[in-house]
Chain A
Amino acid sequence: MSVDLDAVRRIAQLARIGVSETETPHLQAEINSILKFVEALESVDIDGVEPMTSVIPMSLPMREDVVTDGEIPGKVLANAPLSEDGFFLVPKVIE
């Protein structure tokens, strides 16, 4: 499989990475070289094989459903590029 220029633009948009028109042909070539590299997997017989979900067989540990953390808005916001009154600031998203 390979991707065309439109697909590259669509992938960039899905990944929320701004890509200029001058970059797209280069990205297309790189993505296609990687897709070509993984093409060999198409011939592997995977009939009846379960996909791996956990590399080490262990069940998810359970704990008491109690609050173990919180009340630290200062710490949560400490690295925010922009914040105000205990909130993260973003551009207006709802008109």
Chain B
Amino acid sequence: MTDLTSLTLAEAQGRLKSRAVTSVELTLAHLEAMERAKALNAYVVTTSEKALQMAKASDKRLMKGEGGPLEGLSIGVKDLYATEGVHTQACSHVLDGFKPTYESTVTANLWRDGAVMLGKLNMDEFAMGSSNETSYYGPVASPWLPPNWSREKAVAALAGDKRGLLTPGGSSGGSSAAVAARLCLAATASDTGGSIRQPAAFTGTVGIKPTYGRCSRWGMVAFASSLDQAGPLARTVRDAAIMLRSMAGPDAKDSTCWPEPVPDYEAAVGRSIKGLTIGVPKEYQLDGMNPEIVTLWSKGAQWLSDAGAKIVGISLPNTKHALPAYYIVAPAEASSNLARYDGVRYGLREPSADIFDLYERTRARGFGAEVRRRLMIGTYVLSAGYYDAYYLRAQKIRTLIKRDFELVFAEGVDAILTPATPSAAFGIGEKGSQNPVEMYLNDIFTVTVNMAGLPGLVAPAGLSSEGLPLGLQLIGRPFDEETLFSLGEAIEQAAGRMQLPNPWWA
């Protein structure tokens, strides 16, 4: 049975269609693997009953030769997506007990296409974090063993506070850990500054943040509305393509959702990349950069060149401003979006005889330290007298960042190749305790993509000298996710499929 969890989404799809396996069997195999992996803390809620109901319904349709593209496939859902009648808290205490009476568009699209929901996945609180350590439900342990750790040492750490074990990245840390540990075939995730792509890089999985507007944001718990975008995490480029096609699409309920139909992304997987022009931006070459990352990056360029692409050096001069500008824009939008958590309409309420005291107590108790910090920064940069100096300036810089990309695309560049992260995964408890900025620097290569609204895909490209996965990022033209899937597949072919760790935790 455990074997079923090692299938790719595409393989499982084939076996279900040929009825070599049933959805109930596939679902049970995953539920069992999840039970044995509880200590990783990837799932905050398991929806076994719902999963089996959905699987049975899928099997009925498959028996009749019917069913959608994801019929019967076992999927994990990030806790940020509203799922009707099921725990939805963006892993925050302030949404204590919240069970939406509606379904997010992205998850509704998955169920329309026949997918089976296994449960809700852990994440950084309101997606604010890069290591899944800000979750109210505690950190997630990566299925990758820390270098030179024995199984016994890791199992002992897992039973304790998890310090020293590796983080699966964040904010979509539950999603990346679950996909890498084979606790689902694929998962939904979301990306505001790198929250799909950095976890993909840290766990040896594939993640894509599509163009802003490609997926509906309706029913996703909002963090920074001009940056937030849904996307999948999966074990292969093909699987990510299959997932995104179902997740994406026009939606009248989100006025920023792109009205054009979604292309068949899977058809782009395996398409020749001959003749494509790939830009390599010199500004991503940082002082003191990890030499392993530099080597991996040039290896990636060589692979694409071997497959027939033309590699050109490019310049994106405003790159260095992206991260500081992000830490104005994102907290500002968050402070506005999270004003809704007031202890009156849903979630946690700390009683008081005074309404302002009720707000202040509820929000003090409901939000974790990182969220409080960002809300205060956001409130400050939007406050009277500081708006022009911070927020307006940051939005102007955002125009400059986007213009950099527009210029290189206009010169004929089809996509851009960059590292995904400054390093391999770090340990739980290792970063950000002294200075929050230390953690923020993790997003240095990914955040420009959100600022410019572009699509970005991260594919595993190899292992570090210590045996940990490293990823490369491909950035595309607006709404040209197809080229990214073709290029991502070329990297996956050249690098070889990532060998994921054996279940030492089970």
Q: Which residues of B contact A86 (CB under 8 A)?
A: none
Partner-binding segment picked from B43-51, B338-346, B494-502 = B338-346
Q: Which residues of B contact A11 (CB under 8 A)?
A: 376, 379-380, 383
Q: A34-B437, A51-B396, A79-B97 are in contact. Are A15 and B355 (CB under 8 A)?
A: no
Q: Are A14 and B392 in contact (CB under 8 A)?
A: no
Q: Is B394 an interface residue (CB 8 A)?
A: yes
Residue of A nearest to B386 (CB): A1
Q: Is A67 an interface residue (CB 8 A)?
A: no
Query: A1 vs B23: C-alpha distance in the bound complex, in angstroms?
Result: 58
Q: Which residues of B contact A55 (CB under 8 A)?
A: 212, 226, 398, 402, 451-453
Q: Which residues of B contact A92 (CB under 8 A)?
A: 353
**Min CB–CB distance A42 → chain B (angstroms):** 8
**Min CB–CB distance B293 → chain A (angstroms):** 22
Contact of A44 among B343, B356, B358, B397 (CB under 8 A): B397
Q: Is A91 an interface residue (CB 8 A)?
A: yes
Q: Is B393 an interface residue (CB 8 A)?
A: yes
Q: A17-B376, A49-B396, A51-B392 are in contact. Are A58 and B258 (CB under 8 A)?
A: yes
Query: A11 vs B364: C-alpha distance in the bound complex, in angstroms?
Result: 13
Query: A27 vs B342: C-alpha distance in the bound complex, in angstroms?
Result: 22
**Min CB–CB distance B490 → chain A (angstroms):** 27
Q: Which residues of chain B from 310 to 338 have any CB-CB distance to chain A below 8 Å in the complex? A: 318, 320-321, 324-325, 327-328, 335
Residue of B nearest to A75 (CB): B101
Query: A34 vs B377: C-alpha distance in the bound complex, in angstroms?
Result: 8
1/0 contact string of B207-220 vs chain A (CB within 8 Å)? 00001110000000
Q: Which residues of chain A from 22 to 54 have any CB-CB distance to chain B below 8 Å in the complex? A: 27, 30-31, 33-35, 37-42, 44, 46, 49-54
Interface of B is mostly: helix
Q: Is A78 an interface residue (CB 8 A)?
A: yes
Q: Are A46 and B376 in contact (CB under 8 A)?
A: no
Q: Are A52 and B395 in contact (CB under 8 A)?
A: yes
Q: Are B396 and A93 in contact (CB under 8 A)?
A: no
Q: Are B352 and A91 in contact (CB under 8 A)?
A: yes
Q: Is B436 an interface residue (CB 8 A)?
A: yes
Q: A55-B212, A55-B453, A56-B453 are in contact. Are A15 and B258 (CB under 8 A)?
A: no
Q: Is B375 an interface residue (CB 8 A)?
A: yes
Query: A75 vs B324: C-alpha distance in the bound complex, in angstroms?
Result: 41
Q: A31-B373, A56-B213 are in contact. Are A50 and B345 (CB under 8 A)?
A: no
Q: Are A15 and B379 in contact (CB under 8 A)?
A: yes
Q: Are A50 and B377 in contact (CB under 8 A)?
A: no
Query: A7 vs B380: C-alpha distance in the bound complex, in angstroms?
Result: 9
Q: Which residues of chain A from 72 to 95 have any CB-CB distance to chain B below 8 Å in the complex? A: 72, 75, 78-82, 88, 90-93
Q: A56-B453, A58-B213 are in contact. Are A38 and B380 (CB under 8 A)?
A: no
Q: Is A70 an interface residue (CB 8 A)?
A: no
A61-B255, A90-B344 given; name 16 further pairs at CB < 8 Å: A14-B379, A16-B360, A19-B364, A30-B435, A31-B376, A33-B437, A34-B377, A38-B328, A40-B324, A49-B397, A51-B392, A51-B395, A51-B398, A56-B212, A91-B353, A91-B354
User: Which A residues form the contact surface with B (CB < 8 A)?
Assistant: 1, 3, 7-8, 11-19, 27, 30-31, 33-35, 37-42, 44, 46, 49-56, 58, 60-61, 63, 72, 75, 78-82, 88, 90-93
